[in-house]
Structure 1
């Protein structure tokens, strides 16, 4: 959609890498975003940071807490080779017949030893081991030397700096993961209404960085990256975005550090850039505080449309990129209204969801990321919009899923009724702070637990999480039967409502953090705006030593069983079973060949009419062909063959380390066997390469046209022209180019106006400009643009005078009377390929739809100028051009 003044041959389009843009935009900081041979997606910076998943190749030994299994030259070849997430021991549905009470004095109260070789680069600067969680006290040795101990608890992340313990090449890592009772580590000493399982049950990473790097977010109050939206205006579609980033210099020399923060939309387009510099002393941290905003085309995050931006943080040492991390950003506002209840982006939302324990049959807490996602996908498919992570911080993968699917989160520190000693309380506060620091950038989180489950609000916890994150609410974690309570210092009265809250005053906001999602309860909460939501107990059956658990199945409660089967009603009727149906639940996911990923297999029996048979004494025998195995198989009671639960016989199929086709076969005497197949895919341990997405850092220039004296729109480039003369401007953007405005004939008249007032968005742009009267119209010529694709947006609004005594150019405006020139109603835009038109707006105020705009896309293929011609579609009336935007496109 352009007019090329001389024919050019067709050649492939070329787009300059985004680092050339940065060179021109930030002249004071020579930014060089390197693109090497690492196959990173287009525009993603290559830095000195690496993050390698240590999922595979662990050697495991159960027990012997005082053994010297940490020595570097230990022969561990007879140990079991495992992948993580890993539990110390698989357990059957009856908790292996253990008769522990709720303090869990013996079950899984053991230690696990894990050994592995790690490969460190040839020139390591900083080397870390990062843990998402391990139960519950973890000691680390590297090459036989003790590095340190983590003893805050088993549900929050931690890391060890192993730089001084490693050498280039292979290094030996040994872990003692101790799940024995520790009275100062919550939720011990108990009791607790859930089983605290064991092992190295969440992801572990080997991280290498440059000496100049972003710190881990849980290190201290200012560490890492913290993204907030101080203001969000859903009505006008804009938001303020603040980013706090701490960079550490572990070099022996001071560093000139530049911090480039880019907000990237769903399409990969950069919509906000923030750049700051600082000199950081050796051994010191520096916290950057940056603030900008998205002023147009804002996409809000909501339950119905969970739109996610990315915040890409790039650290430069001089002109070299040395570090890069990314965080999610969902722009949303949350508010409370006595008339409308919970407001998300200014609209009332009734919260309806369920509690969730991370337990799965057999594997306990050692749940692969894919099943965390599947749980939340199932929530979404069932119409749920909130989850409470009962009663501890849960896996990063769960929060990622909630962000992506639009599910709100109420997350809390690991407790259940009991209160321990001073050291216990210190660890509880530390765990709460780490929970917030780890998950504070997830838009799905709206409530932090500000109390101890059942016991009610705890000022110390409330103030700790409020200090860490003042942007979200706290919940009081009450139960009615432990005494008359209220929200106290917390923002919300979160209570267990199983039969009606009798002691609620009705003068505070209430969420049933546990309750029954029956029709009467749902109706009660929907009819009262102070009752914000109902979170039922519980989504899935979970392991517990509760006294009322079935003696053969200690997975208690749940609208679904522990296998996530949502079967027919228990009183459903059907005919006799005549056929088996087998399903591998691969909806919305892949199966990673990492030795730990799991897909759920469900076999159901149907009658002659296709109805699912809800109950039967039939059992299903599973076999697997291909690179996979059945979790538990013949070694675990009830794992295979499998009895029916809620109409399905379920099995956990675990992928091996080799990708390929996996065929699952289900058999039952008297029925025709059934099969289903799935292909596992290669696992990529390079987590940066596996998760990086393209970044299109496309430069845009915005030009506000008019005469000297105009009120220039903020952040726009002014173009001052003289009447009745060709006008030209040189712009340094995009490598430098020139724009010329020419009349189409010698009869043409141009009148440039400064300082007229127009009310509306970008009113300074639309209040002045150039008015051209010429039967042949006029054209804009672009010369010197680099080869590539561009989008030109032009603005056409005829302003009306509304001058008053405060206008410095009032008398001149009256003399010129430019606003009285008859103007075109429709402007034709002529290009080589297409003829289009734009309806020109006019008046003292812009219409709600905005000014008249024309969008012209074109491609520069050679050195010749590119021109766009504008003409009155009906005659020779005046055409207003107030300004334009020119942007690179993909």
Structure 2
């Protein structure tokens, strides 16, 4: 019997941004439809100043495909990872399924309705309008939902006796041994009673079989689902942890028929009697940020490459060991990457403040079920969020959500996020959005245990990448102060700042341009100065030594910051994970300092604060400043700033020079206007105009105005291989040209 096939169903879709009653039918005029690949947004947007009504409409997607004759005795289903917000699925004109909610996956059985060996038409009517009856909506929501089939689609071909889910957990974990429990959920669509045996094989990263175990022979009636439990011990397990996130593979099969692969990490988690989190018996202070899945221009419709990239940014650029998927389950590929790099995750159900009626709550229960079923095996996930973000107490509702999560997954604690200092504590861990002392960069002491701060700071001091340097530095200083308050607390398990990235929102929030500027990076993922506070908290032995001067070197250096002291000396912050930093101004040492332990006594790596003397003669074109970091008395890192006095050129930097020609893969291109030293100009707002040659598509505004000297666009592939040339021009500045290669895509695609 052939093995299970997981086929890429992202390509060759037809799309039209309008509603018509006959679009579900097989034979229609498709000349007005556009050829697209998914992930797909129902409408491209500028990165700011647009309205949610722009994407709130009904659209249709159609996909022709041939159901192969060899599939005739097998099960065929289509898996949607996410479609916003109400999806009706039709096959050959017949409605098969309806799904409400844009953040959880759903599967549609096609087997009995297919035309074997012939053309079939799968049609999706996607309603992306506002739906108060579907979470998270009901009232205003502080983020945009967008529209489209915005996550991956797969076609699954398996035996009709198949594995519906495989849940794997580790227990009694020590360095000497661990117990692994595997629950296989088997579904029988064979039409008659079947005998079967479930076999699990545990493989290490080299593909070596470590353990193999089989169940006894089981029987399952036609049309039923049965769960089969197997347990086995693993001697001297390679434990999954933050710095060594070792992943095993479990291959599960039914009597040589259907098979599924699951990646797992063997680890133990708990909140101890002191309210602190333990991973494999060792205390970990959970530090991180909230993430929205919002990208410029595309909304949530981003390919796997950049879902994964966000996880890397969180860990390696923003110093996180922990993150919150605010305020909904996020892409599978994002969580896969968290598993791979050792980034802990708190995942929660969709919602924002509002609690609806009983039918609305039923969708919440379904969302929790779908979230846990999909993500049970991710070792990175340490808590399930079972409370609507910042909602009022509803003890009956939250008793049920908490019980449901524990029933589905007794191995993980539950939590819930509120802004209420006093609240019904029904979950295992109390989550609190702490903004009360944000102006002072402080956090309140825990009043429940276990306890973590689920949001802090950003809302109370929004900062744009092009704000004056004084505000940007103050934003960074407040982040350092908030982190200091967190590390001071001996009974606070964790703290996640609001937020990692700027994001699009509705008109009542933000600055009126539909952007919330609460992030450590802008919406393009370009870091603000505050990002380096968090990056510097990662020990140099775990990442690499770094040093960063949190100020631009401009002629107004002593004016555009803060009041000078009576000695005419300006304060300059340097963020570093080194033991000492020496700052040079015009080649003259401003001192070799230890970190400021007096102002930030609890931070792992406090800022370095230098007093730079004011010069009435101003600055010359050769003026420069340099910071040198030392570890064990030796130079470990260096950072330099030179004075910027004129715009010289456009600079284009693509994250990837090679992407796949599948119609949805893409690369970000960071665009800068730079000076003669190659430094971006922090106060530049000039527009850059692009031309693109070759089989690609430019995603973004053209021309694109700089924000603080930088911004970004994307270059997306088509189905054609080749080379794309992107050129950026601005006034009479030197232009810039880059090349991006589109290569044959990996994977097996549905024809």
TM-score per shorter chain, which class? 0.7 to 0.9
TM-score (ref. length: structure 2): 0.78
Quick one: distance in 2 between partners of 1:615 and 1:487?
Answer: 48
CA contact (8 A) 1:454 1:477 kept: yes
CA contact (8 A) 2:90 2:122 kept: yes
Quick one: distance in 2 between partners of 1:76 and 1:201?
Answer: 22
Task: Identify the residue that residue 366 of structure 1 maps to in structure 2.
Answer: 301
Equivalent residue in structure 2 for 1:581, among 641, 646, 651: 651
- Residues 456-499 of structure 1: per-residue CA shift (max 9 Å, x gap): 6622221111111111121121114xxx3246111111111224
Equivalent residue in structure 2 for 1:111, among 30, 55, 58: 58
Q: Specify whether residues 333 and 537 from structure 1 end up closer, same or farther in structure 2 by C-alpha distance, changes over 3 A only.
A: same
Equivalent residue in structure 2 for 1:84, among 38, 43, 47: 38
CA contact (8 A) 2:67 2:115 kept: yes
How far residue 667 of structure 1 moved from its aligned partner, in angstroms, is 1.8
How far residue 604 of structure 1 moved from its aligned partner, in angstroms, is 2.1
Task: Identify the residue that residue 459 of structure 1 maps to in structure 2.
Answer: 399
Equivalent residue in structure 2 for 1:521, among 473, 482, 488: 482
How far residue 84 of structure 1 moved from its aligned partner, in angstroms, is 0.6
In the alignment, structure 1 residue 671 sits paired with structure 2 residue 620? no
Q: Which runs of 5+ in 2 are unaligned?
A: 458-477, 531-549, 555-643
Quick one: distance in 1 between partners of 2:201 and 2:231?
Answer: 11
CA contact (8 A) 2:430 2:449 kept: yes
How far residue 661 of structure 1 moved from its aligned partner, in angstroms, is 2.7
Equivalent residue in structure 2 for 1:491, among 428, 431, 434: 428
Q: Specify whether residues 210 and 109 from structure 1 end up closer, same or farther in structure 2 by C-alpha distance, changes over 3 A only.
A: same
In the alignment, structure 1 residue 572 sits paired with structure 2 residue 508? no
Quick one: distance in 1 between partners of 2:16 and 2:59?
Answer: 6
Task: Identify the residue that residue 177 of structure 1 maps to in structure 2.
Answer: 126
How far residue 449 of structure 1 moved from its aligned partner, in angstroms, is 0.7
Task: Map 1:364-403 to 2 at 5 A.
Answer: 364-382=299-317, 383-403=319-339
How far residue 339 of structure 1 moved from its aligned partner, in angstroms, is 4.5
Equivalent residue in structure 1 for 2:246, among 263, 282, 307: 307
CA contact (8 A) 1:565 1:646 kept: no
Quick one: distance in 2 between partners of 1:428 and 1:257?
Answer: 35
Equivalent residue in structure 2 for 1:563, among 524, 528, 535: 524
Task: Identify the residue that residue 120 of structure 1 maps to in structure 2.
Answer: 67
Task: Identify the residue that residue 563 of structure 2 maps to in structure 1.
Answer: none
Report the secondary structure of 1:70's partner residue: coil
Quick one: distance in 1 between partners of 2:359 and 2:148?
Answer: 23
In the alignment, structure 1 residue 270 sits paired with structure 2 residue 206? no
Report the secondary structure of 2:197's partner residue: strand
Task: Identify the residue that residue 415 of structure 2 maps to in structure 1.
Answer: 475
Task: Map 1:484-633 to 2 at 5 A.
Answer: 484-486=421-423, 488-500=425-437, 506-516=447-457, 518-552=479-513, 554-567=515-528, 572-574=552-554, 575-576=644-645, 577-586=647-656, 591-632=659-700
Q: Specify whether residues 681 and 324 from structure 1 end up closer, same or farther in structure 2 by C-alpha distance, changes over 3 A only.
A: farther
Report the secondary structure of 2:190's partner residue: coil
Task: Identify the residue that residue 276 of structure 2 maps to in structure 1.
Answer: 341
Equivalent residue in structure 2 for 1:133, among 53, 61, 82: 82
CA contact (8 A) 2:79 2:107 kept: yes
CA contact (8 A) 2:201 2:212 kept: yes
Equivalent residue in structure 2 for 1:354, among 273, 277, 289: 289
Task: Identify the residue that residue 108 of structure 2 maps to in structure 1.
Answer: 160
- Residues 689-709 of structure 1: per-residue CA shift (max 9 Å, x gap): xxxxxxxxxxxxxxxxxxxxx
How far residue 142 of structure 1 moved from its aligned partner, in angstroms, is 0.8
Task: Identify the residue that residue 352 of structure 2 maps to in structure 1.
Answer: 416
CA contact (8 A) 2:451 2:494 kept: yes
Task: Identify the residue that residue 12 of structure 2 maps to in structure 1.
Answer: 57
Quick one: distance in 2 between partners of 1:597 and 1:615?
Answer: 32
Quick one: distance in 1 between partners of 2:160 and 2:205?
Answer: 32
CA contact (8 A) 1:567 1:646 kept: no
How far residue 255 of structure 1 moved from its aligned partner, in angstroms, is 2.4
- Residues 232-253 of structure 1: per-residue CA shift (max 9 Å, x gap): 11xx332110000011221133
CA contact (8 A) 2:696 2:724 kept: yes
How far residue 603 of structure 1 moved from its aligned partner, in angstroms, is 2.1
In the alignment, structure 1 residue 214 sits paired with structure 2 residue 163? yes
Task: Map 1:278-297 to 2 at 5 A.
Answer: 278-296=218-236
Task: Map 1:193-212 to 2 at 5 A.
Answer: 193-212=142-161
Equivalent residue in structure 2 for 1:449, among 385, 388, 396: 385
- Residues 243-274 of structure 1: per-residue CA shift (max 9 Å, x gap): 00011221133323122111111111111111
Q: Specify whether residues 142 and 674 from structure 1 end up closer, same or farther in structure 2 by C-alpha distance, changes over 3 A only.
A: same
How far residue 194 of structure 1 moved from its aligned partner, in angstroms, is 0.6
Quick one: distance in 2 between partners of 1:275 and 1:232?
Answer: 22
CA contact (8 A) 1:312 1:326 kept: yes
CA contact (8 A) 2:661 2:719 kept: yes
Quick one: distance in 2 between partners of 1:456 and 1:304?
Answer: 38
Tell me which of the two structures has the higher relative contact order, counting C-alpha pairs closer than 8 angstroms and 6 or more residues apart.
1
Quick one: distance in 2 between partners of 1:108 and 1:390?
Answer: 21
Quick one: distance in 2 between partners of 1:238 and 1:62?
Answer: 56
CA contact (8 A) 1:391 1:412 kept: yes
CA contact (8 A) 2:163 2:185 kept: yes
How far residue 552 of structure 1 moved from its aligned partner, in angstroms, is 4.2
- Residues 782-801 of structure 1: per-residue CA shift (max 9 Å, x gap): xxxxxxxxxxxxxxxxxxxx
- Residues 783-822 of structure 1: per-residue CA shift (max 9 Å, x gap): xxxxxxxxxxxxxxxxxxxxxxxxxxxxxxxxxxxxxxxx
Task: Identify the residue that residue 876 of structure 1 maps to in structure 2.
Answer: none
- Residues 649-691 of structure 1: per-residue CA shift (max 9 Å, x gap): 3111111112333332222222222222232332234279xxx
Quick one: distance in 1 between partners of 2:430 and 2:507?
Answer: 26
Quick one: distance in 2 between partners of 1:210 and 1:504?
Answer: 55
Quick one: distance in 2 between partners of 1:293 and 1:677?
Answer: 52
Quick one: distance in 1 between partners of 2:365 and 2:16?
Answer: 32
Task: Identify the residue that residue 706 of structure 1 maps to in structure 2.
Answer: none
CA contact (8 A) 1:487 1:494 kept: no
The count of aligned residue pairs is 608
Quick one: distance in 2 between partners of 1:685 and 1:71?
Answer: 30
Q: Specify whether residues 62 and 155 from structure 1 end up closer, same or farther in structure 2 by C-alpha distance, changes over 3 A only.
A: same
Report the secondary structure of 1:452's partner residue: coil
CA contact (8 A) 1:47 1:324 kept: no
In the alignment, structure 1 residue 75 sits paired with structure 2 residue 12? no
Quick one: distance in 2 between partners of 1:539 and 1:495?
Answer: 18
Task: Identify the residue that residue 231 of structure 1 maps to in structure 2.
Answer: 172
Quick one: distance in 1 between partners of 2:162 and 2:273?
Answer: 46
Report the secondary structure of 2:365's partner residue: helix
Quick one: distance in 1 between partners of 2:27 and 2:678?
Answer: 61
TM-score (ref. length: structure 1): 0.66
How far residue 131 of structure 1 moved from its aligned partner, in angstroms, is 0.7
Quick one: distance in 1 between partners of 2:275 and 2:48?
Answer: 46
CA contact (8 A) 2:196 2:254 kept: yes
Q: Which runs of 5+ in 1 are unaligned?
A: 1-45, 99-103, 216-223, 633-638, 689-890
Quick one: distance in 1 between partners of 2:488 and 2:749?
Answer: 47
Quick one: distance in 1 between partners of 2:489 and 2:516?
Answer: 34
